[in-house]
A = this chain, B = another copy of it.
Amino acid sequence: MAGSGKAAHSHDHQHCIREALTSAERVCAERGARLTPLRKRVLELIWDSHEAIKAYELLESLGALGESTKPPTVYRALEFLLEQGLIHRIESENAYVGCRHPEEAHDYQLLICDGCRHVEEVEVPGVGAALKDQASQLGFRVHQKTVEIHGLCAQCVANPR
């Protein structure tokens, strides 16, 4: 078992990408939101992996594709994708990651590996409701919940670099 070494995160990622893009097309069509070529390219770049990606990394990648390369370009695309719930912002990293369930609003929590930057989106039963209930008891009206767990994923625990 010592050197087995293959990626615990390994999976058919082309499938993830296809699914993310077709979901995006669908929800935007349903809502009359315009998933323009630029926005779609940014979404594709974000879905290039399950890792957190930063705005300026996206900017650089866009440049390599012959696109504009000015910050507002990518920030506007990110703003659109966030509004449509197609991506999530990772506040503690100033970074972004594709959303796994863009079809509908949902509570979610992010497990962020500080070893490999892999981000896992989970919904721990009860957590969202417990936070909401506590807030309500205090008369607090919730607009947004940010739950980000940092640490090491199973792969990085087993295989520290």
* A interface residues with partner B (beta carbon < 8 Å): 8, 91-92, 109, 111, 113-114, 120, 122, 124-127, 130-131, 134-135, 138-154, 157
Contacts and interface: CB of A to CB of B under 8 A. Distances in A.
A146 B146 contact: yes
Which of A146, A148, A152 gathers most chain B CB within 10 Å? Answer: A146
Contacts of A114: 143
A139 B151 contact: no
Copies in the complex: 2
The 3 closest A-B pairs by CB, nearest first: A139-B154, A91-B92, A91-B91
A83 to B, nearest CB: 16
Given A91-B92, A114-B143, A139-B154, A149 B131 contact: yes
A31 to B, nearest CB: 23
